[in-house]
């Protein structure tokens, strides 16, 4: 029985990712996951707490009341082994390492031509309206290619690798070429996957991005096309080693499912499957959520919930905090 508790605790030490429903703050997601984890652990067969002998003080009663003190032996539970006492897992250290590593993330950005706002989102204060009938998909793709070329030069600048070396060639082929240390936000992939003016959808791969940076990318694309554009929604489809298929939906926020997800991540590390991946189509298409004005100062890196036992990279459909 004790071995079952030990396996459960050890199985929860690691990383896993969950799918955040639209409009739900990531803190609520974290609290729900923690509650389900505790429920799953408490549903295990209870292990009797070990007993220890303690000498407890008492009084000697006389005719006129207490006449003195005495000690009597008693068996009491050892609180250090009580099932409600939880330990801290190793997931926090791993998620800290994940943030310090320049991993790339994939996003789907929804944009709309025709107006500009003060915060680059469609819910901001409108500061300009423009025409967009002259914009074609061919023109849009030329602008995207130009932006990707500029960012490719920035990536080489921060990579601190001799571009004429064999090392640089192998890193480029494997997709692991990235900045050496902290860098400015960099786009490593950018393409249009839907064009229905005034609406368009972009698929983006980037490093060290922030919320404002992604919105500004859409804004600058509009300016390059002699128009304006705002960002209407964002969906994260990959965060480093975690893809959208790895994200646990709400009905799978259970101790058993989380333990299996952590085990898959640990197995992928053992077999050397943790690497950068390229933008690709996703078979899972959750509903796109609009940006939320109540948290527009938060950065995307805040979408990682850290609990006492596990660290949870959360796939956000918007910039909810």
What is the DSSP secondary-structure string of 223-272? HHTTS-EEEEEEEEEEETTEEGGGPBPGGG-SHHHHHHHHHHHHHHHHTT
The percentage of residues in the chain with a pLDDT greater than 70, rounded to a whole number, is 65
Q: Which of 37 and 197 is assigned the larger pLDDT?
A: 197
Label residue 259 by pLDDT band (50, 70, 90): confident
pLDDT at residue 214, as a whole number: 94
pLDDT greater than 50 at residue 106: yes
Label residue 64 by pLDDT band (50, 70, 90): low
Long-range contacts of 120-124 (CB under 8 A, 24+ apart): 120/212, 120/215, 120/216, 120/218, 120/219, 120/230, 120/231, 121/215, 121/230, 121/231, 121/232, 121/291, 121/293, 121/296, 122/230, 122/231, 122/232, 122/290, 122/291, 123/290, 123/291, 123/293, 124/230, 124/293
Most confident among 39-53, 242-256, 293-307 (mean pLDDT)? 242-256
Q: Kindly report which listed range (10-14, 97-101, 224-228) carries the lowest average pLDDT score.
A: 97-101
pLDDT at residue 77, as a whole number: 67
Q: Kindly report which listed range (167-181, 186-200, 302-316) carries the lowest average pLDDT score.
A: 302-316
Label residue 67 by pLDDT band (50, 70, 90): low
pLDDT greater than 50 at residue 88: no
Q: Which of 71 and 47 is assigned the larger pLDDT?
A: 71
Instruction: Quote the pTM value.
Output: 0.65
pLDDT at residue 21, as a whole number: 82
Q: Which of 311 and 29 is assigned the larger pLDDT?
A: 29
Task: Please give the Cα distance from 192 to 47 (Å, whole number).
Answer: 57
Q: For the residues 160-178, what does the mean pLDDT come to?
A: 73
Where b means 16+ CB within 10 Å and e means fewer, 226-239 reads ebbbbbbbbbbbbb
Name residues whose C-beta falls within 8 Å of residue 46's C-beta, 6 or more positions apart in sequence: 83
Q: For the residues 132-136, what does the mean pLDDT come to?
A: 96
At which residue do the structure tokens 């652990």 appear?
41
pLDDT at residue 286, as a whole number: 38
What are the tens digits of pLDDT across the range 197-247? Answer: 999 999 999 988 888 899 999 999 999 999 999 999 988 898 888 888 888
Task: Look over the chain and give the mean of its residue pLDDT values, rounded to a whole number.
Answer: 75
Label residue 121 by pLDDT band (50, 70, 90): very high
pLDDT greater than 50 at residue 117: yes
């Amino acid at each position: 029985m004790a071995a079952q508790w030990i396996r459960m605790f050890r199985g929860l030490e690691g990383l896993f990712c969950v799918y955040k429903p639209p409009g739900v703050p990531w803190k609520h997601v974290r609290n729900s996951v923690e509650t389900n984890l505790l429920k799953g652990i408490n549903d295990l067969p209870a292990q009797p707490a070990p007993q220890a002998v303690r000498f407890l003080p008492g009084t000697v009663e006389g005719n006129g009341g207490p006449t003195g003190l005495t000690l009597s032996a008693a068996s009491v539970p050892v609180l250090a082994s009580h099932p409600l006492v939880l330990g801290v897992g190793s997931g926090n250290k791993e998620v800290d390492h994940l943030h310090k590593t320049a991993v790339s993330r994939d996003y789907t950005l929804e944009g709309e031509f025709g107006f500009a706002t003060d915060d680059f989102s469609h819910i901001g204060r409108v500061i300009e309206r423009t025409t967009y009938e002259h914009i074609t998909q061919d023109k849009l793709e030329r602008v995207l290619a130009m932006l990707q070329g500029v960012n490719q030069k920035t990536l080489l600048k921060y990579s601190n690798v001799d571009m004429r070396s064999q090392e640089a060639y192998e890193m480029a082929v494997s997709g692991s070429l990235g900045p050496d240390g902290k860098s400015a936000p960099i786009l490593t992939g950018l393409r249009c996957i839907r064009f229905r003016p005034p609406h368009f959808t972009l698929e983006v791969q980037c490093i060290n991005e922030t919320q404002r940076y992604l919105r500004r990318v859409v804004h600058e694309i509009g300016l390059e096309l002699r128009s304006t554009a705002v960002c209407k929604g964002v969906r994260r489809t990959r965060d480093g080693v975690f893809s959208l298929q790895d994200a646990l939906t709400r009905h799978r926020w259970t101790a058993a499912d989380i333990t299996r997800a952590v085990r898959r991540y640990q197995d992928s590390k053992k077999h050397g499957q943790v690497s950068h991946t390229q933008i690709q189509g996703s078979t899972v298409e959750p509903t796109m959520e609009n940006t939320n004005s109540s948290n527009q100062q938060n950065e995307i890196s805040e979408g990682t919930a850290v609990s006492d036992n596990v660290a949870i990279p959360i796939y956000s459909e918007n910039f909810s905090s």
